[in-house]
Amino acid sequence: MDEIFNSPYYPYLPPLIASVLIILLFPLIAGYIVLLERKVLADLQVRLGPMRVGPYGFLQPLADAVKLLLKEDIIPAAADKWIFWGAPVLSTFTALTAFAVLPLSDKFFVADVNIGILFILAMSSIGILGLIFGGWSSNSKYSLLGSLRSAAQMVSYEVPLGFATVTALMIAGTLSMQGIVHAQQEQGLWFAFGNYGLMLVPAVVFLIAGVAETNRAPFDLPEAESELVAGFHTEYSGFRFALYFLAEYASIFVMCALWVTLFWGGWLRPFPNVGFLEVPLNYGFPILLFVVIGLGCLKGFRRRRMPIEQTVIIGALAGAMFLVAALFAIPAANPYVIGLFWFLLKVFLLVYVFIWFRGTFPRFRYDQLMEVGWTYLIPISIGALIVNGIVFLWTSGS
C-alpha cells in the first residue's frame, strides 16, 4: 500500500480514477436524465410516460441504448463524410471534457485548475463547432438552418452568460472552481444571496442564458421539430445520434453544475458556517431522504400484480436506497460522500427546473429570441455587473 502512495505516479492516480468513473457512469446518468425528463414531462402533461420496460419504465434507458446501438448507421450520399463523422465526436468530446474541472465535491474531482471556469466556457464555445459542422456536412437544408440558428443563438447568449459569470467571479476573487466554492464558505453564504440580494439578478440572467446556451425549451429553436424536423441532427442516426444526445445532456449537466457552483454554493450545505446545523443537515437530511425514497419504492410493490423480475428490480432499488442511507449514517464515511450528495441534489433539482421550463413555456420566435438576448439580457447583465461591483467594493471596505 505504501508503495502506491510513495510512487511518483501517485498524484495522477485519483484524477485518473475519477475521470474513468465519470466517463463510464455519465452515459448511464444521461440516460436516466432522459428518463426523468420523459417522466416529469408526462406528469406535467397528465400522462404516464414510459411504463413498459421494467417497473414503471425504470429500465427504459437501457432499452433506448440498445435500440440506438443496433440501428443502421446511415451517412447520406451527399454528405461530407469526414466532417459528418467528426462533428458528433467533437460535440461529445468538448461536453465531456468540461467535467474535468467540475468540483463534484471537495474530495471527488478530476483536476483543480486555476483557470477552471475559463476552461469550461472555452470548451462550450468549441462545442458549438460540433453543431455547425454537423449541420453543414449533412448537406440538408433543415440541418443547415438548424445549425445556423444554434450558432447565432449560442454566440449571442454566451455574452450575458459571460457577464453573469464575471459578476460571481468578482465576488469570489478567483477563477478556480474549487476556489469559488471555498470563497462562498469563507463569506458564509451562497453567492445567490450575496450583496444584499443583488446577486440574484446575475443568477437569474445566468439561468436564462444557460437554458438558451444548452438549446433547451423555450429556446430550442435549433431543433424546433415543427419547423426543422430535428435541426442539426436531422440526418444523424444510430450511434452518432446517441453521441449528440449524450453531448446535449452532458452540456445540460455542466451548465447546471456551473450555476450551482457559481451561485448556489457547490457542495456546501445550506448555512455552511452554522455549526449546530451540521448533524441535522449532513446526517439527518440525506438519511431521511433516502429512507423515504426507499419506502416509496416499496410502495410500488402492492400497486398491482406484477411479474417476478419487476418485483426483484423494485426490491433491489429499495435495498440500494437503504444501503445509501446507511452509508450516510457511518461517521467515517459521511465526510467523503456528503459533498457529493449536496452537489448532485442541487444539480438534479436544477435539471428538474430545466424540464419544468420545457413543460411550461412555449417556444420563442426567432426575432423574439434575439430580442430577449440582445435588448434585455445583455444590458441587464452589464448593469448587474457594475452595480454589484460598486456595492461589493463599498461593503468590503477597501
Residue ranges binding other proteins (CB under 8 A) = 40, 43-44, 46-48, 51-52, 204, 307, 356-357, 359-361
Of the two residues 52 and 302, which places its CB atom closer to other proteins in the complex? 52
Of the two residues 21 and 48, which places its CB atom closer to other proteins in the complex? 48
Q: How far is Cα 76 from Cα 254, in angstroms, rounded to an integer?
A: 32
Of the two residues 141 and 303, which places its CB atom closer to other proteins in the complex? 303
DSSP output for 345-386 = HHHHHHHHHHHHHHHHPPPPPHHHHHHIIIIIIHHHHHHHHH
Of the two residues 7 and 375, which places its CB atom closer to other proteins in the complex? 375
- Min dist CB 44 to other proteins, Å, is 5
Beta strand extents in 151-243 (DSSP E only): none
- Min dist CB 193 to other proteins, Å, is 17
Instruction: Write phi, then psi, for 234 (nearest 5 degrees).
Output: -55, -45
CB atoms within 10 A of CB 261: 29
Q: How far is Cα 186 from Cα 373, in angstroms, rounded to an integer?
A: 34
Contacts of residue 363, Cβ cutoff 8 Å, sequence gap at least 6: 217, 218, 219, 220, 221, 224
Of the two residues 168 and 205, which places its CB atom closer to other proteins in the complex? 205
Q: How far is Cα 152 from Cα 103, in angstroms, rounded to an integer?
A: 30
- Min dist CB 297 to other proteins, Å, is 15
- Min dist CB 351 to other proteins, Å, is 15
Burial class (CB in 10 A: 0-12, 13-18, 19+), 5: exposed
Grid cell digits, residue 208: 436564462
- Min dist CB 360 to other proteins, Å, is 4
Grid cell digits, residue 155: 454566440
Burial class (CB in 10 A: 0-12, 13-18, 19+), 214: buried
Burial 320-356 (b: 16+ CB within 10 A, else e): ebbebbebbeeeeebeebbbebbbbbbbbebbeebbe
Of the two residues 93 and 356, which places its CB atom closer to other proteins in the complex? 356
- Min dist CB 379 to other proteins, Å, is 13
Residue written as grid cell 410500488: 300
- Min dist CB 310 to other proteins, Å, is 9
Grid cell digits, residue 179: 476556489
Of the two residues 60 and 178, which places its CB atom closer to other proteins in the complex? 60
Instruction: Write phi, then psi, for 270 (nearest 5 degrees).
Output: -60, 145
Burial class (CB in 10 A: 0-12, 13-18, 19+), 208: buried
Of the two residues 146 and 300, which places its CB atom closer to other proteins in the complex? 300
- Min dist CB 375 to other proteins, Å, is 13
Of the two residues 204 and 382, which places its CB atom closer to other proteins in the complex? 204
- Min dist CB 355 to other proteins, Å, is 10
Grid cell digits, residue 340: 457529493
